[in-house]
Amino acid sequence: MDNLTHSLVGLTLAKAGLERLSPCATIVCVAAANAADADVASGLFGDRWTLLQNHRGITHSIAGTIAIGFLVPALALAVEHAASALAKRKPRIQFRGLLLASMLAALTHPVLDWTNNYGVRPFLPWSGHWFYGDLVFFADPYIWLLLGVPAFLLTSNSRLKIVGWCTLAVCAAALMFLAGRSTNPETASLPFALLIWIVVAIAAALLRLSGAQKRLGSGLAMAALLALVGYWGALSVVHRLAAADASSIAERVVAPRGEHLIRAAAMPTAASALRWQAVAETDQAMYRFVVQLGNTNGPQAADGSLTRYAKPTGPPEALVKMGEQDRRARTLLDFARFPIAHVDAENCIGQTLVQFADLRYTEPGRERGNFSVNVPVDCPVR
């Protein structure tokens, strides 16, 4: 998930009662909830393939989560002792309380990341197997509202904080507006989500002006966390329906071709429980289409969304095997959930490009994609 969501979860946990365990608990909760993404620093020591290889790696595993849960309060304790020595006062931090708060906040990070289709590898360094929840898009404006409104009401106790929250709300709305203007089917529902965002933001401001926050306490934060769990539960039910529809649609499409369906998955799109991005794999090809729930005529792919990508065979397959030896290709293939390769072997003279792509995010044939790589290979001698 995005770091705004991680931060809101850490802050809401603190306001739900963890802040009472020790001074600095709120800061520790927010830091621990985000700390796993420190693995992006690996990109400073290599290229984007180094980052892809290490992101959501050991820091997102069970072992890494435990380590983070201990290191964040230990660092806070060290800073507090240094500050206390300079100020000639006794340290105020209660390490046991901070440790508990940090462990709980750190645990939320891999759980949140599991809920989207990027996945996590919880059993590193022993196993690199990926697990995917496929429940929510990597940034969900409804989760921002579920957690952000209670956090705003419970923390907006100064003019500076109010300005900060308003700035954050405007930036989030601007991002939704810009993303909603694209032609990407995965963001088609963002304009409606933006309307809800504006209405709820105005309602939150009115509650703040009425002084409602003075009558609210940790119960509001706890209710927000329970609402988040309930939201996941509702999405899991809808996801099962979408996954069943994806399999049904794929079976109906591949049967006339004599293909054998290997697997199919339904993955979330932005701010919509009715539109799901589906990918299906057969023994001969990959299929990508959009599942639109609620059709009166039964499971159907959205109009114009079904695309077939044949798996390379014969001479093209040999070129693909050569391309797989490239470090960048190996990194992408280790990450990819639905890898597909594309190569023009008919017009191969001297060298050609083999394109590897993860069909979750990038369709082969495009000149550029965040999860694709073009590998030059030598053409076979004719």
CA distance readout (Å), 79 to 73, 90, 268: 10, 13, 42
Residue holding tokens 């429940």? 135
Residue that finishes a domain, picked among 128, 162, 185: 128
Residues 271, 344: one domain? Answer: no
Residues 296, 317: one domain? Answer: no
Residue that finishes a domain, picked among 255, 282, 309: 309
**What mean pLDDT, rounded, does the chain reach?**
90
Share of the chain above pLDDT 90, in %: 63
pLDDT of residue 177: 82
Max intra-chain CA distance, the chain = 82
Please state the domain count of the chain: 3
Q: Is 245 helix (H, G, I), strand (E, B) or coil?
A: helix
For the chain, what is the radius of gyration of the CA atoms?
24
What long-range pairs does 211-216 form, CB within 8 A, spacing at least 24? 212/153, 213/153, 213/154, 213/156, 213/157, 216/150, 216/153, 216/154
* pLDDT for residue 367 is more than 60: no
Q: Which of 370, 368, 375 is nearest to 341 (CA)?
A: 375
- Point out which residues pair with 289 in neighbouring strands: 278
* pLDDT for residue 279 is more than 90: yes
Residues 13, 111: one domain? Answer: yes
**Full domain range(s) for residue 262:** 237-309
**Assigned domain for 180 exists:** no
Residues 304, 316: one domain? Answer: no
**Assigned domain for 165 exists:** no
**Assigned domain for 153 exists:** no
In this prediction, residues 192-210 reach a mean pLDDT of 87
* pLDDT for residue 382 is more than 70: no
